[in-house]
Structure 1
Amino acid sequence: MNYVLNNVPVRTEKPRTAGFTMVMDKGLSIREVEDFVDAHGEYVDIVKFGWATSYLTKNLAQKISIYQDAGIPVYFGGTLFEAFVIRNQFEDYRRVLEKYNLSYAEVSDGSISLAHDKKCEFIETLSKDVTVLSEVGSKDAAKIIPPYKWIDQMEKELQAGSWKVIGEAREGGNVGLFRDSGEVRQGLVEEILTKIPEEKIIWEAPQKEQQVWFVKLLGANVNLGNIAPNELIPLETIRLGLRGDTFDHFLGDIKL
């Protein structure tokens, strides 16, 4: 940090499993990636190439290398996994991971209908070779999954080999964990937390108000995902109580 402030929360240090920030790359250029890593690399824990953008990304191997050389793992969005699976190309997907030297993979079923035991089989298979993040929740705003099913699926996916489970929100933050207005389904989140350890969950929270809500609920070191590259530093200020939205949250009994 550039100067000293008292009563600022202590952030975990990389490599970390709590206070984890997943950033979404939706098609940054090579130069943008270089600038992003140079300016903000210490604050990002992993980068997701959103949905199936890696299929179209120019200089994909070079981009991946820039991130990895900076100590930032990369993985392809779960929609790409689903695109391979629905075409009966799971083994081709595994070869793609190997081709690009990826050590992380996401398993999801937000866009396809996949029996949950089959999803867990995919997790178990992939976890033998890579670190698996699995996503729970539907991308269909009309499909409301009750809390007990979220919990059951998260528990089973962790048992199958997932390193962390991701709470679905899409890039817009208007499905899954959230209502179409972006409002948090507070009862859902609180019920999930009665059964699933918070360090095992990454909450997709692309909107500032959502990030603020989770920081106030779980503290500076909550795991958050689907963060836009240009929102990474603003998120850190939210985590540290250095933005108006959380300014008083960490001050304790300090009085003027």
Structure 2
Amino acid sequence: MNFDLEKIPFRTSKPRQNGLTMVMDKGLSVREIENLIEVAGPHIDIVKLGWATSYVTPNLSEKLKVYKNAGIPVYFGGTLFEAFVIRNQFDDYRRVLDKYGLQFAEVSDGSIEIPHDEKCEYISKLSSQVTVISEVGSKDAQKIFAPYKWIKMMTAELEAGSWKLIAESRESGNVGIYRDSGEVREGLVDEILTQIPEEKIIWEAPQKGQQVWFIKLLGANVNLGNIAPAEVIPLETIRLGLRGDTFNHFINTI
């Protein structure tokens, strides 16, 4: 850091298992990535190329190389996985992962219906090839799962080989663990945390209010995802109690 301040919350160091910041790249150019890394690289743990943007990105290999040279792993959004699965091209998907040298993959069923046992089989197969991050929850706002179903699915996916679980919210932050207003479904989160270790969950939190809520609940080292590139530095200041939203939350507890 640039100067000394007392009573700053402890932050885990990269490469870390908790306190992750997952950034959503929805189509950044190579120059934009270079600029992002220059300013925020130390605070970015992993990057998701949103949904299936990797399919239409013309300079994909070059983008991946820039992230790799900065020591930042990248994975393709779960919608791309689903696009291959629905077309019976799972083996082709595995070859794509190898072609681009990816070390992570996301398994989701937010846009299509996959029997959960089958989803867990995909997780198991891919976990022998890459590190799997699986997403729980639907992108359909009309599909609201009871907490026990979230817990059951999360438990099974961890047992199948997932490294981390993503709690779905879409890039807009208004489905899954959130109401359509963006408000956190607090009862759902509380129930999940009674059974699933917090360090195993990446909470998608694209909105500042959602980030603040989870940091106040679980501390500076909560895993947060779907962070916009321009919000990486602001998020880090929220984690450290250096923004008004959490300023007083930490100062009297350290």
Query: Could you tell me the TM-score, scaled by structure 2's length?
Result: 0.99
Question: Aligned runs of 1:149-228 on 2, under 5 Å?
Answer: 149-228=149-228
Query: Is the alpha carbon distance of 1:253 and 1:36 closer, same or farther for their aligned partners in structure 2, counting shifts above 3 Å?
Result: closer
Question: Aligned runs of 1:1-256 on 2, under 5 Å?
Answer: 1-252=1-252
The unaligned stretches of length 5 or more in structure 1 are: none
List per-residue Cα deviations over 1:36-94 (Å, max 9, x = no partner).
11211110000000000001112100100110111100000000000000000000100
- Name the aligned partner's letter for residue 73 of structure 1: P
SS across alignment from 1:215: helix
- Name the aligned partner's letter for residue 204 of structure 1: E
List per-residue Cα deviations over 1:156-193 (Å, max 9, x = no partner).
00000000000000000000000000000000001000
Q: CA deviation at 1:5?
A: 1.1
RMSD: 0.8
Counting aligned pairs with the same residue, the percent is 72
Alpha-carbon distance in 2 for matches of 1:63, 1:243: 32
Alpha-carbon distance in 1 for matches of 2:116, 2:240: 38
List per-residue Cα deviations over 1:218-254 (Å, max 9, x = no partner).
0000000000000000000110011111110001169
- Name the aligned partner's letter for residue 149 of structure 1: K
The unaligned stretches of length 5 or more in structure 2 are: none
SS across alignment from 1:79: helix
Give aligned pairs, total: 254
- Name the aligned partner's letter for residue 12 of structure 1: T
Query: Could you tell me the TM-score, scaled by structure 1's length?
Result: 0.98
Alpha-carbon distance in 2 for matches of 1:253, 1:60: 45
SS across alignment from 1:212: helix
4+ runs deviating over 3 angstroms: none
SS across alignment from 2:194: coil
Alpha-carbon distance in 1 for matches of 2:168, 2:253: 36
Alpha-carbon distance in 2 for matches of 1:138, 1:66: 32
Alpha-carbon distance in 1 for matches of 2:251, 2:48: 34
Q: CA deviation at 1:35?
A: 1.0
Q: CA deviation at 1:10?
A: 1.1
- Name the aligned partner's letter for residue 18 of structure 1: N
Query: Is the alpha carbon distance of 1:201 and 1:187 closer, same or farther for their aligned partners in structure 2, counting shifts above 3 Å?
Result: same
